[in-house]
Amino acid sequence: MTNVAALDCGSNSTRLLIADGEGRPLVREMTITRLSQGVDATGALTSEAMARTYETLRRYRALMDEHDVRGGLLVATSAVRDASNGDVFLADAEAIVGVTARCLAGDEEARFSFDGATAGLAPSPLVTMIVDIGGGSTELCATVDGALIGYSMQLGCVRVTERALTPGVVTAEHEAATRAMIAAELDRAFAAVPTFSSLVGSVRLVGLAGTVATLAQLTTGLAAYDRDAVHHQILTRTQVQQWRDELGRRTPDERLALPGMVAGREDVLTAGLYILDAVLERFAIDQFLTSEDDILDGVVRFLQNELPSE
């Protein structure tokens, strides 16, 4: 097989993974593009957000050319799902990168994320569940008795920030609104997937995406991203709460000065940690495993099965 590319146009970041025919990563890139900016309020992608993302995709296409990529898939998630002009964005994105562009339904997003995050994990007597906290949505997914179950919640670090928490210092009023918003979505998830109730207290939780990765960096005090140090780290609910509260007392600029904070996440990370803490509480979990393998790795696995061998 030839080299392949997986691209993810998420609500907060646009990412690229180029892998060889054996699935070994050759290039990983992440750029904060905030594609979802304003979508929750207006129902449409802004021209500015799309332009930022197109610029990043052009750079990624150049990297794909450098690595002789012959096949690939671009996936878009919550921001594009929710936008009235999402089809326009997908058509433009496909023209730029030269591979098929698809907007994933929530269950498809959960499946790709689960496949990518769990492929390299050792077996566990517990049910493995992933929580993928994006900018606009959060996916919960697990395999129970051989069947994949999942739910995509209308919760994400950008969406919760814009709708309830606000970017700055957390006030009691905004915290209450945030907790209520998250609790309501978790109630919907448990109502839609009754099996979730039977998993309380008995899952191995794997956390994905920028909220979890940045939390791991802050916890280790890493000034620069180190994938090996962030990947498969065990974090506790106490650490989630400590960082959530610490960041909540600071302005975005003050957060940005902390070792490990990623530029572009300083205004939305606190909301992501409120989501993560609520999931841990609902499933009675006191620690979880981080994973830098995620939806991109799941897309690469899909491409390996779908593309013809040379």
In angstroms, the CA 285 to CA 236 distance is 9
Count up the domains in the chain and report the number. 2
What is the model's pTM?
0.88
Are 14 and 131 part of one and the same domain? no
Are 161 and 283 part of one and the same domain? yes
Tokens 């814009």 locate to: 162
Within-domain flag for 223: yes
Within-domain flag for 146: yes
Are 184 and 237 part of one and the same domain? yes
Within-domain flag for 112: no
Are 50 and 147 part of one and the same domain? no
| CA distances (Å), origin 193, targets 115, 117, 122, 150, 280 | 20, 21, 26, 7, 17
pLDDT value at residue 308:
54
Range of the domain at 200: 121-290
Are 189 and 283 part of one and the same domain? yes
The predicted model gives 147-168 an average pLDDT of: 92
pLDDT value at residue 21:
82
The residue among 158, 155, 127 whose CA lies nearest residue 141 is 127
Are 233 and 186 part of one and the same domain? yes
Within-domain flag for 114: no
First and final C-alpha spacing in the chain: 5
Is the pLDDT assigned to residue 229 strictly greater than 90?
Answer: no
Are 69 and 170 part of one and the same domain? no
What pLDDT, in 10s, does the model give residues 204-213? 999 999 899 9
What pLDDT, in 10s, does the model give residues 14-72? 999 999 988 899 999 999 998 988 887 888 999 999 999 999 999 999 999 999 998 99
pLDDT value at residue 222:
83
Are 162 and 283 part of one and the same domain? yes
Tokens 């395999």 locate to: 143
Within-domain flag for 258: yes
What pLDDT, in 10s, does the model give residues 84-124? 999 999 999 999 999 999 999 888 888 899 999 998 898 88
In angstroms, the CA 104 to CA 220 distance is 33
Within-domain flag for 259: yes
What pLDDT, in 10s, does the model give residues 114-153? 999 998 898 888 999 999 998 888 999 998 988 899 999 9
Is the pLDDT assigned to residue 225 strictly greater than 90?
Answer: no
Are 97 and 181 part of one and the same domain? no
**Structure tokens belonging to residue 235:** 């974090």
Are 40 and 183 part of one and the same domain? no
pLDDT value at residue 203:
94
- The full DSSP string for 185-250 is HHHHHHHH-THHHHTTT-EEEEEEHHHHHHHHHHHHT-SS--HHHHTT-EEEHHHHHHHHHHHHTS
